[in-house]
Chain A
Amino acid sequence: MSRRKLAVWKFASCDGCQLTLLDCEDELLSIAGAIDIAYFPEASTTEVEGPYDLSLVEGSITTPHDAERIQTIREQSTTLVTIGACATAGGIQALRNWADVREFTSIVYAEPSFISTLDTSTAISEHVDVDFELRGCPISKAQLVELINAYLNDRRPYIPAHSVCMECKARGTPCIMVRDGVPCLGPVTHAGCGAICPAYDRGCYGCFGPSESANVEALAQWWKGLGVEDLDLVRALRTFNAYAPEFKEVSDRYA
């Protein structure tokens, strides 16, 4: 059987997620040995033509050109996996969805007329079918390796969709919200980071987006009891995964 072909694609994003693949260091040679890295401009100028067996897609759709390009990539890809908050929820650039992007371009660019951009930044799944979404800003190296590994072995990746709290409890971090009243998004945020922030006395920022069955409204009400102002609640929900439906619905309610 010939080796399967991997492609890595970039849309509106910071490159951090695809660089996670290069950051795999210890596993990188094993990955390169197990799958053909056919298209990955960040790593190699060699481009092997499609179709591709596995496409990793980073970034959100923000331009008319990208909205067309993702269709072509989908057609060329047997399995398409989005990597990171941009591709999965529209990223931090989805903040434009609540504003007038033409106003932004008029301030930022000397010749705004050269800029062809959409009014919104949207997730890849808004445009094409997505087979799996890898969460995070950036994604977790361990989860990326697990995803590729599971794909190569035709099994389901072991990537629990439960809350960050499960990771805090497993590493023995006393809940920062309970012991110190620090607002934390952990109870409604998808696990995967290993609960880093609460271990350093910071509330969870929600980098991995909503967990399965996230009850964001109930947490919002508790935060208000902790003295969090509506504006700060909205800011907390509108960061890396602002346009994830579970976060958006509640941030709109308090905006």
Chain B
Amino acid sequence: MDPQTVDRHGLDRLITHLAESGFEVIGPTVRDGAVIYDHISSTSDLPVGQGDAQEGGQYRLVNRGDSALFGYNLGPTSWKQYLFPPKTELLHIRRSNGDLVIEEPPTRTRPMAFFGIRGCELAAISIQDKVFLDSGYVDRTYASGRKDLLLVAVNCTTSAATCFCTSMGTGPKCESGYDIVITELVDDGETRYLVAADTERGESIITAVGGSPAKDEQLANAESAVQSTAADMIRSMDTDGIYDLLIENPDHPRWEQVAERCLTCGNCTQACPTCFCSDVADRVTLDGTAIRERRWDSCFGLDFSALNREPVRESTSSRYRQWMTHKLATWHDQFGSSGCVGCGRCITWCPVGIDITEEIVAMKETVST
């Protein structure tokens, strides 16, 4: 199927079609001064005309002065909250006639549609797929969210100062892993949306929504919009030799320097779309029933590495090193790719603006000289 173009009403028809087809439609919307992901029912729920200014430890919504629907960059929340929720009940345990009755709570049955997912975020999901589905153990909560999940992606036509997806090979163009991809085209004041499908499911949805075949000029404009987004990207990470750099320098003085600034608050790991660590604890009531619950955890916590109550990684430098080395180096050993997709959330949402790309630069400079 050739790419089609629709106007904003076409996207409204798309959202309505998804809802009427039984999907729980989740997309970007503005809340609490940021673009977050929540349920949407029309394009008016999207961050219309909103952009953002981002830097290390800084995020501000900015009025773009237009009616762009996808003129914003990534906000603090990622899609992982829907596939790997912050809190999940794993088991219900109770006594009955002297026996223990253990029940698994029901998982999701209604499929979700993620509307507006970006290239780096598609990459993050494929990374978490490896963790939760392909590593030998299937996580039933994740699998239930992933089943029939429909992905309506958006090619980025803008980037934040904290983005570095081009370095990680995940964007700004969505290469694969989506059902439908949208590119926003501002043309003669009338904004059009180029929609293309990568799956049969995506094709049938576009057919149902209707549109007009894209002209060559529109295709070229879409391509150049994405290319200039890539060209304009400010941040980068030189991944060349990064594995050896991290593995061979566990005692580099930079770890102590970053530890002086690091709050060990865990924000980077919670904002990261690939971080998957969790803690499991039983909530037991006084009458003897229990709920086994999984909660997001962080390698920046002391309990995280506690063996026999004592932490293995007590110093802040050892915890920062663990996070960064795993993310950028040993993730390759474990899952066959980097754990970083270059979304920049750990930079923006670090309360004191620690920048993972800057740490790599500093380490490379001192090691090479």
Interface residues of A (CB under 8 A from B): 27, 30-31, 33-34, 145-146, 148-149, 152-153, 158, 160-163, 165-166, 169-175, 177-181, 184, 186-188, 201, 211-215, 218-219, 221-222
Cα–Cα distance between A31 and B263 once the two chains are bound (Å): 38
Known contacts A169-B267, A172-B81, A187-B267: does B303 contact A218 (CB below 8 Å)? no
The 9 tightest CB contacts between A and B, nearest first, are A169-B270, A174-B34, A187-B265, A30-B286, A170-B86, A163-B265, A165-B265, A187-B263, A174-B76
Q: Enumerate chain A residues within 8 angstroms of B31, measured Cβ to Cβ.
A: 174
Q: Enumerate chain A residues within 8 angstroms of B353, measured Cβ to Cβ.
A: 222
Q: Enumerate chain B residues within 8 angstroms of A152, measured Cβ to Cβ.
A: 286
Q: Enumerate chain B residues within 8 angstroms of A149, measured Cβ to Cβ.
A: 284-286
Q: Enumerate chain A residues within 8 angstroms of B3, measured Cβ to Cβ.
A: none
Question: Chain A binding site: helix, strand, loop or mixed by DSSP?
Answer: helix
Q: CB-CB contacts of B70-89 with A at 8 A, as 1s and 0s?
A: 00000111000100001100
Q: Enumerate chain B residues within 8 angstroms of A177, measured Cβ to Cβ.
A: 57, 351
Cα–Cα distance between A145 and B303 once the two chains are bound (Å): 21
Cα–Cα distance between A209 and B318 once the two chains are bound (Å): 24
Q: Enumerate chain B residues within 8 angstroms of A160, measured Cβ to Cβ.
A: 279, 301, 303
Q: Enumerate chain B residues within 8 angstroms of A214, measured Cβ to Cβ.
A: 263-264
Given A178-B59, A187-B263, A215-B260; 15 other pairs, CB 8 A cutoff: A31-B286, A146-B283, A148-B286, A149-B285, A158-B283, A162-B266, A166-B270, A166-B298, A177-B57, A177-B351, A179-B60, A184-B351, A187-B352, A214-B263, A218-B262
A165 close to B87 (CB less than 8 A): no
Cα–Cα distance between A34 and B86 once the two chains are bound (Å): 32
Q: Enumerate chain B residues within 8 angstroms of A221, measured Cβ to Cβ.
A: 352
* Residue in chain B with minimal CB distance to A167: B86
- Asked if B336 CB lies within 8 Å of chain A CBs, one says no
Known contacts A180-B33, A187-B267, A215-B264: does B284 contact A153 (CB below 8 Å)? yes
A188 close to B265 (CB less than 8 A): yes
Least Cβ distance of B324 to chain A in Å?
Answer: 17
Known contacts A158-B281, A178-B57, A222-B352: does B34 contact A215 (CB below 8 Å)? no
A172 close to B36 (CB less than 8 A): yes
Q: Of B33, B263, B283, which contacts A179 at CB under 8 A?
A: B33
Least Cβ distance of B85 to chain A in Å?
Answer: 9
- Asked if B287 CB lies within 8 Å of chain A CBs, one says yes
B33 close to A212 (CB less than 8 A): no
* Residue in chain B with minimal CB distance to A198: B32
Cα–Cα distance between A149 and B266 once the two chains are bound (Å): 28
A218 close to B285 (CB less than 8 A): no
Cα–Cα distance between A33 and B286 once the two chains are bound (Å): 9
Least Cβ distance of B277 to chain A in Å?
Answer: 12
Q: Enumerate chain B residues within 8 angstroms of A222, measured Cβ to Cβ.
A: 57, 351-353
Report the interface size for chain B: residues with CB under 8 A from the other chain. 47
B75 close to A174 (CB less than 8 A): yes
Query: Which residues of B315-369 are within 8 A (CB) of A?
Result: 316, 348-349, 351-353
Can you list 17 A-B contacts with CB-CB less than 8 angstroms, sorted by A residue number? A30-B286, A34-B286, A162-B301, A165-B265, A169-B86, A174-B31, A174-B76, A175-B267, A175-B351, A177-B351, A178-B58, A178-B348, A179-B60, A188-B265, A218-B262, A218-B352, A222-B57
A218 close to B32 (CB less than 8 A): no
* Residue in chain B with minimal CB distance to A169: B270
- Asked if B302 CB lies within 8 Å of chain A CBs, one says yes
Least Cβ distance of B78 to chain A in Å?
Answer: 10
Q: Enumerate chain B residues within 8 angstroms of A172, measured Cβ to Cβ.
A: 36, 77, 81, 86
- Asked if B261 CB lies within 8 Å of chain A CBs, one says yes
- Asked if B271 CB lies within 8 Å of chain A CBs, one says yes
- Asked if B296 CB lies within 8 Å of chain A CBs, one says yes
Q: Enumerate chain A residues within 8 angstroms of B351, measured Cβ to Cβ.
A: 165, 175, 177-178, 184, 186-187, 219, 222
Q: CB-CB contacts of B44-77 with A at 8 A, as 1s and 0s?
A: 0000000000000111110000000000000111
Least Cβ distance of B117 to chain A in Å?
Answer: 17
Q: Of A30, A166, A178, which contacts B349 at CB under 8 A?
A: A178
Cα–Cα distance between A192 and B95 once the two chains are bound (Å): 29
Q: Enumerate chain A residues within 8 angstroms of B59, measured Cβ to Cβ.
A: 174-175, 178-179
Cα–Cα distance between A151 and B77 once the two chains are bound (Å): 37
Cα–Cα distance between A44 and B293 once the two chains are bound (Å): 36
Least Cβ distance of A34 to chain B in Å?
Answer: 5
